């Protein structure tokens, strides 16, 4: 075996490690979610004659499935995910349209947003969020120079996102998820290098369209009106928000104690799902809410940091995936917290990993599994590069054969050109040697 073959074998034996910060934060949020769903849902379950631990049992089962999805994602190479990413827009479109099929689509609370799977229901938009992030990451990795320089490449992204959002608004009647998808798309375009002045025109065109969608649905207008002054109609349109604010105010600094919430006793609607933060504020107080916000900030910050490190090593696809998941977690948690505190109009977005909700919990776990895989491959690449640099420095000490060759140096001129021709920093050996990013 020659020196290059032995070097490749040694580098292939180097593994990575999953980011410990992401693991700890995700586990803490998931455990906190189990505790608070159990606390917030007992009265609701008993009121529906379902047994006191009905929702807690379901939530734990969904978390278990989510952990399984996360483990599967953590064991899947990013190059495999990137290979199949081109098919994801079609898969997302099909998923969203399945709700119109009789026997498959499921209607609840006046909205047709779920798929009937026999053993339960699934909200396809939760999977679409991850699909859009992965596809957009692949697109930006391949055409990032074109996206920053031409209208055509940027409009293609906006057209795909706009089509998905249009289906969500017209068929699913899900304004919250639509706004979230648009925000994630815009954020990823900015992080991917899109020209900001060029993005201004599509944004100015989208705002009137979104305003029109609000005005077309009376209940959306009512939410805006009640958000401005919920106490004007505390037993009608402002019922949810007024009870949430009473729960928050009652919690004060340290809360009334775990399990001692009064508002969850059939006063606060959706206490275990959309308004679970209000129960946390009542039982754990300002300290508990501050801890929740700090955990989400740490999760998003760590994800952005991992994405930045990937981009610095020219692992653009993995970096953009990390950026997208960070935007998803941070924006959705911001909206959910803002709704509970009366800072934003009422929207049906769950608190990631904490609120009860099967589709949301499972797909959030899957997304975090992908993010952990990104951190694993980043750490592996850093270790391999460190090994190569160490071996390149050995000739100075006279410890390598004369046949050893120095590492190739990539000049600035060689890195010019389209994004599709640039190489990753991570050395890849064996059958995949020489492939581009």
Is 320 inside a domain boundary? yes
Is 207 inside a domain boundary? yes
* Alpha-carbon Rg for the chain in angstroms: 24
Phi-psi region of 208 (alpha: psi -120 to 50; beta: other; left: phi over 0): alpha
What is the residue whose two structure tokens read 């600035």?
A: 412
- pLDDT for res 417: 42
Closest CA to 343 of 219, 237, 245, 222: 245
Question: Whole-model pTM above 0.85?
Answer: yes
- The residue length of the chain stands at 437
Backbone torsions φ then ψ of 162, nearest 5 degrees: -65, -35
- pLDDT for res 150: 86
**Tokens read off for 196:** 């900001």
Is 35 inside a domain boundary? yes
- pLDDT for res 395: 55
> How many domains, in total, are found in the chain?
1
Q: Which residues lie closer than 8 Å to 12 by C-beta, 6 or more apart?
A: 429, 430
- pLDDT for res 427: 42
Beta strands in 169-228 (DSSP E): none
Is 276 inside a domain boundary? yes
| DSSP β-ladder status, 105-108 and 121-122 | unpaired
- pLDDT for res 3: 59
Question: What are the 10-residue block averages of pLDDT along the chain, 437 residues in total?
Answer: 56 81 96 95 86 92 96 96 94 94 82 83 94 96 88 91 92 90 94 85 80 77 79 83 93 93 88 93 96 97 97 95 97 95 86 92 97 96 85 53 44 42 43 38
Is 266 inside a domain boundary? yes
Is 63 inside a domain boundary? yes
DSSP, residue by residue, 59-125: HHHHHHHHHHHHHHHHTS-HHHHHHHGGGHHHHHHHHHHGGGSTTTEEEETTEEEEEE-SSSEE-HH
122 strand-pairing partners: 115
Is 415 inside a domain boundary? no
Domain that holds residue 181: 29-382
Is 109 inside a domain boundary? yes
CA–CA distance, 328 with 333 (Å, rounded to integer): 8
């Amino acid at each position: 075996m020659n020196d290059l073959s032995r070097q490749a074998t040694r580098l292939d034996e180097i593994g990575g490690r999953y980011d410990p910060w992401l693991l700890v934060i995700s586990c803490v949020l998931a455990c906190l979610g189990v505790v608070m769903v159990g606390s917030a849902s007992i009265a609701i379950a008993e009121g529906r004659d379902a047994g006191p631990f009905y929702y807690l049992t379901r939530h734990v089962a969904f978390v278990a499935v989510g952990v399984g999805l996360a483990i599967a994602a953590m064991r899947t190479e990013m190059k495999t995910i990137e290979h199949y990413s081109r098919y994801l827009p079609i898969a997302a479109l099909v998923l969203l349209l399945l709700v119109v099929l009789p026997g498959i689509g499921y209607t609840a609370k006046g909205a047709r947003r779920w798929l009937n799977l026999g053993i339960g229901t699934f909200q396809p938009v939760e999977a679409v969020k991850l699909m859009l992030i992965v596809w957009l990451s692949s697109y930006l990795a391949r055409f990032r120079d074109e996206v920053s320089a031409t209208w055509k490449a940027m409009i293609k992204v906006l057209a795909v996102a706009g089509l998905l959002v249009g289906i969500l608004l017209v068929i699913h009647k899900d304004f919250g998820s639509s706004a979230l998808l648009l925000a994630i798309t815009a954020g990823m375009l900015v992080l991917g290098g899109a020209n900001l002045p060029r993005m201004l025109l599509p944004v100015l065109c989208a705002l009137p369209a979104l305003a029109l969608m609000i005005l077309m649905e009376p209940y959306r207008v009512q939410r805006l009106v009640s958000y401005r002054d919920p106490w004007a109609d505390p037993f009608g349109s402002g019922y949810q928000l007024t009870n949430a604010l009473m729960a928050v105010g009652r919690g004060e600094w340290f809360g009334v104690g775990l399990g001692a919430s009064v508002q969850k006793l059939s006063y606060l609607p959706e206490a275990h799902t959309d308004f679970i933060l209000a129960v946390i504020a009542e039982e754990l107080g300002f300290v508990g809410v501050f801890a929740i916000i700090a955990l989400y900030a740490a999760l998003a910050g760590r994800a952005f940091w991992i994405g930045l490190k990937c981009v610095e090593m020219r692992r653009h696809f993995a970096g953009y995936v990390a950026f997208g998941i960070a935007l998803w977690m941070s924006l959705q948690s911001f909206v959910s917290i803002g709704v509970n505190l009366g800072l934003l109009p009422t929207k049906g977005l769950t608190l990631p990993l904490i609120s009860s909700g099967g589709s949301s919990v499972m797909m959030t776990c899957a997304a975090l599994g992908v993010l952990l895989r990104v951190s694993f491959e980043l750490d592996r690449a850093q270790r391999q590069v460190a090994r190569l640099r160490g071996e390149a420095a050995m000739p100075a000490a006279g410890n390598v054969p004369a046949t050893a060759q120095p590492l190739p140096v990539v000049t600035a001129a060689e890195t010019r050109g389209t994004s599709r021709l640039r190489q990753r920093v991570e050395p890849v050996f064996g059958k995949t040697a020489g492939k581009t990013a």
